[in-house]
A and B are shown apart, each in its own frame.
Chain A
Amino acid sequence: MTSSRTFNMTIRPFGDSALLIDIDAGSTDASSDVVMALHTQLQRQPIAGITSATPSYNSLLVSFDSGRVRQNVLSTKIHAIADTIDVKQIPQGNQWLLPACFDEPYSLDYAALEAELSRDWQSIIDCFCSIEYRVHAVGFLPGFTYLGHLPNALHCSRRQDPRAKVPSSSIAIAGTQAGIYPFDSPGGWRIIGRLPFPVFDTWADQPALFQPNDRINFKAVTSEEFKELEQQPALSMIKQAGSQ
């Protein structure tokens, strides 16, 4: 099969039991499309010896059993699969409109962010809620949701000293990324608000609520509304028809 690829792909060994595939398709979104298409294809057409695959924004980490497949053979097979992928085949994600509270006590880093970004909190939140986010990856922790693109005006540093305990369902930003914490856990990102429902259910058929390629819009609610929504979480998860 001749290659008509619209992206650059490099495959490098990452230790003796994994390959790191880096994708450059010109933009984060286009690269993410290719990563998702490649991951989807590897799930549909599994290669013997692969034990797991970890997609992220512009990379795919493929772990393998070196007793079942040789690194160079695996690399050749992945190149062959990459020649056949079609980004139009990526499973269409869900469309979400999520209520979130960006007031105290949920906006743990509001003062630091006002200072770093030289903007008042209301304009930061207006800016954050003004765009639609795409789920680029689920990882780090079970169900941790990586979102992009954060508006340029909100690009910010990580905390120098990571928090020992970020509350579950917190919404956070760092660098050019946004994310949602599934559990009370340590974390170094800037906490701006919280969702009124859990995002990971261990015993559900699909434990992680959000999947790569889902689209998320946030809608700011008051802390009173937040508390009401916490009591009836089913009502607050507004999934819209994924028709775009």
Chain B
Amino acid sequence: MKLQFVTSGLRTTTQDLGRPGYTHMGVPTGGALDRSALQYANNLVGNALATPVLEIMLSGPHVRCLEPGRVALVGRGFSLLLNGAQQTYNCAVSVNAGDELVIKSSGNGCRSYLAVSGEWQVKRWLGSASALRVGSHELLPEAVWQSGDVLTTRDTSVKPWPSTMLPPQPAGNLVRVLPGPEFDWLDHRGRSQLLSKPIVVVDPSNRIGLRTDTQIQLREDKRDTEMVSSGVQPGTVQLTHAGQAIILMRDGQTIGGYPRVLQCVNQSLDQLAQIKAGDELMLSLIDS
């Protein structure tokens, strides 16, 4: 099918499961921040689960269908209008040439994913169609949609049977964490400041990392220690010199020089995708 962007929304990007295996070149794995939403959306339209989708945040696009096909919107924070009529969330929607789709921000959450039936005819870098912005530079500019652009898919999918795959459930704001390599750089006071009360996510928070309003001091003998740079990963909680906890996201750096005090469990990464500036979250240590 073919979709043309009438307006692109604030930042609508192509995302898939990213490009694992290149962190030794400084290239993050990246890809859709909410993997369960990506897979469920693709399942609804009859695509292979790893097919690219549109990742939508803050303000959504308005697209015109040039050819018939199926779409599905999954995630949080947006609703789908077909020719002005609101559609049920987490459902495949059949569209015809001339139909207008508007993705409108609504409710809690941060990101939604639009699956489009068929094989996506898009440019890939290191095996992935995912957009990646480094500073102000787009490494794959074709993956950032602008008004006027046309998305083409080769219609290979069949109308899916009813599936028993369950839609992703809202996960709330309690995030499970494990001690990071420099966890013992925190004293009792620092640990309780970070772990025993809600912390607030602040701007700038994006695909690279979530910043928080914390001001946490390291153990006294570690305050002036400059760490030798070492590997970090999505979900690593770093503490800056100013005491700000930053949770790295999927487009985050691969090596860092700040103490890695906590590590969010892998399963919580999808949950973090739906947290935005102004939201509270609670880090909860898994007893080991």
A interface residue numbers (CB < 8 A to B): 12-18, 20, 28, 39, 51-61, 63, 66, 137-144, 146, 158, 160, 165, 168, 174-177, 182-186, 202-203, 207-208, 212
Contacts and interface: CB of A to CB of B under 8 A. Distances in A.
B231 A60 contact: yes
B135 A66 contact: no
A40 B253 CA distance: 22
Given A141-B134, A183-B137, A202-B139, A15 B230 contact: no
A139 B29 contact: no
Contacts, number: 145
B25 A140 contact: no
Interface of B: 20-27, 29, 125, 132, 134-137, 139-140, 178, 180-181, 226, 228-233, 235-236, 241, 253-257, 260, 263-266
B266 A66 contact: yes
A15 B265 contact: yes
B180 A14 contact: yes
Contact of B20 (A52, A175, A186, A212): A52
A140 B253 contact: yes
A183 B134 contact: yes
Contacts of A55: 24, 231
Contacts of B226: 158, 174-176
Pairs A-B, 5 closest by C-beta atoms: A61-B231, A185-B135, A15-B263, A139-B255, A54-B231
B255 to A, nearest CB: 4
B181 A14 contact: yes
A228 to B, nearest CB: 25
Contact of A59 (B135, B230, B253, B264): B230
Given A61-B230, A139-B23, A140-B256, A52 B263 contact: no
Contacts of A16: 178, 263, 265-266
20 contacts: A14-B233, A14-B260, A15-B266, A51-B29, A52-B22, A54-B24, A57-B228, A59-B231, A61-B231, A137-B229, A138-B24, A138-B26, A139-B25, A140-B26, A140-B253, A165-B135, A165-B136, A176-B228, A183-B136, A185-B135
Contacts of B229: 56-57, 137, 139-140, 146, 177
B122 to A, nearest CB: 16
Contacts of A51: 20-21, 29
A16 B269 CA distance: 12
B273 to A, nearest CB: 16
A38 to B, nearest CB: 12
Contacts of A17: 233, 266
A168 B26 CA distance: 15
Contacts of A53: 23-24
B264 A15 contact: yes
A61 B248 CA distance: 15
A212 B271 CA distance: 35
Contacts of B135: 141, 165, 183-186
Contacts of A177: 228-229
Contacts of B257: 158, 174-175
A75 to B, nearest CB: 15
Contacts of A14: 180-181, 233, 260, 263
A208 B25 contact: yes
Given A14-B180, A56-B228, A184-B137, A142 B255 contact: no
A180 to B, nearest CB: 11
Given A18-B233, A51-B20, A58 B26 contact: no
Nearest to A166: B135
A18 to B, nearest CB: 6
Contact of B233 (A61, A182, A202): A61
A91 B250 CA distance: 30
B181 to A, nearest CB: 5
A143 B25 contact: yes
A60 B24 CA distance: 10
